Amino acid sequence: MRFQTSFAAVLLNTLGATATWTAYQEYLSGLPAHVSKHQSPRPAITFKPKQPFEKFPKSPSRGRTCYVQSHNDLKTDDSPYILDAVNKCNNGGRVIFPQGTTYVIGTALDLSHLSHIDIDIQAYIQFSNDTDYWQANSFFQTFQNATTFFELGGTDVNVYGGGMLDGNGQIWYDLYAKNIYILRPILFGTIGLQSGSISNLKMRYSPQYYNFIANSTDVVFQGIDISGFSQSSALAKNTDGWDTYRSNNIVIQNSVINNGDDCVSFKPNSTEILVQNLHCNGSHGISVGSLGQYPGSYDIVENIEVYNISLSNATDGARIKVWPGTASALSGDLQGGGGSGRVNNITYEDLSITNVDYAIEVTQCYGQKNLTLCNEFPSNLTITNVKISNVHGTTSKKYDPISGYVVCSSPTVCSNITLEDIALVTPSGVENEFTCGAVDESLLHGINCTTLNKGSN
């Protein structure tokens, strides 16, 4: 396998990054000795067992085909080749990154103009480690200082192929540990996409979130394999699997996520979203929020269905997090409070829990450790019609004997939060012991509520 050896040598000599080398070795496991002209069949998109809130538009077959050229040296920017192929096959074609090739993206790519196009990624794609360039040129997304390597948007776009996107995250993890105010790019930016699918891809070592979905509708993610922990003492922080923002009718399903923050997070104005059949390891749970961060804003998260999720080695399972009505600081680069809005019609069903700190957490004091101050200035954001059912498993020893936390800042802003068929056991053998506050405890079926004495958020 002369081809494999040459690229391994190039990678070690030019980058020397353990994390990148690990990702590349994984990609090499099925690499042929020549560049393939294979065209991946577009994966069938089916929704089981739950159906999306609205039907998805059909995507017609594609005509012409464009193969993306590559320098194949893991150091030269291939962005001009990518843009050339995309422009040639936009409006009815298929762009192929062939198996057996490698690509480097060193330029922020504006792919917001796509129309009726398939992008078949069979290759290994790595984003360059030029942190100065990316901080100055990545796409700013307005929410929580989020930026993206590229913007993928338009109409009727399908991305698939079984290849790997490597965010070269280690250099960012180490840099963030020294300066929390750097702008770390998100690996995959789905921005302004109206109808499409992203499926059958590996995502590795994102500097920040793996996926940011903004201003989009009728988009499905399935068969996504996410992983990438830090190889140094600097943690890989804020590596959410998916964050949705100002988007409607999104489906995230049939995927495996190994990360260090929210597995999925529904940010402001996320509506009609289905999440099902995920395995989340090392995460902060499936989270509504955080919401109410910005004064003067009205955040809506409504009609959310989460089904058949396994969560292991996590801080949370089902989670709703809302900022209080007063200024608060979770960290130096994450502050907020005072915004308004609503969380309504949220369903979590069939969650399997293993070694999770809080299997269920509802808080309206996110970012505020002073609960007296939080209760004095309760959240301006209401939480209504939440149902969490069939949650079972074992929690961690962190809060033992407590396995859940359901605390509102005021009963006037929380109503109809229902828990049923809950079977949670802590390491000491205590079952279904929760910290509760300012909620209707008669709707927390089978839960033993203890009075809130001190904050844990």
CB-side neighbour CA atoms (13 Å) of 453: 4
What CATH number did the domain enclosing 406 receive? 2.160.20.10
Query: Does 210 fall in a domain?
Result: yes
Q: Which domain holds residue 149?
A: 2-451
How many angstroms separate the CA atoms of 280 and 277, rounded? Answer: 10
Concatenate the DSSP letters of all residues of 167-229 into one string. --HHHHHHHHHH-TTS-PEESEEEEEEEEEEEEEEEEE--SS-SEEEES-EEEEEEEEEEE--
Is the per-residue pLDDT at 419 higher than 50? yes
Query: Does 456 fall in a domain?
Result: no
State both tokens at 22. Answer: 């690990």
Banded pLDDT at 89 (limits 50, 70, 90): very high
**How do residues 109-128 score in pLDDT, each as one tens digit?**
999 999 999 999 999 999 99
| Residue in the structure block whose two tokens are 């338009």 | 154
Residue type for position 60: P
Query: Does 391 fall in a domain?
Result: yes
Average pLDDT over residues 298-311: 98
Query: Considering the entire predicted model, what is its pTM?
Result: 0.92
- Of 99-103, 150-154, 176-180, 367-371, the one with minimum mean pLDDT is 367-371
Q: Which of 120, 240, 243, 284 is catalytic?
A: 284
How many angstroms separate the CA atoms of 374 and 369, rounded? Answer: 8
**How do residues 4-33 score in pLDDT, each as one tens digit?**
333 443 344 444 456 766 676 666 554 444
Concatenate the DSSP letters of all residues of 40-78 into one string. PPPPP----SS--SSPPPP------EEEPP---SSSS--
Q: Which of 118, 166, 261, 357 is catalytic?
A: 261
Give every CB contact of residue 38 below 8 A, 6+ residues apart in sequence.
98, 99, 122
Query: Does 421 fall in a domain?
Result: yes
445 classed as catalytic: no
Query: Does 184 fall in a domain?
Result: yes
Query: Does 21 fall in a domain?
Result: yes
| Residue in the structure block whose two tokens are 């007063």 | 326
Query: Does 457 fall in a domain?
Result: no
110 classed as catalytic: no
Task: Report the pLDDT value the prediction gives residue 157, as an integer from 0 to 100.
Answer: 98
Banded pLDDT at 365 (limits 50, 70, 90): confident
Query: Does 317 fall in a domain?
Result: yes
Number of domains comprising the chain: 1
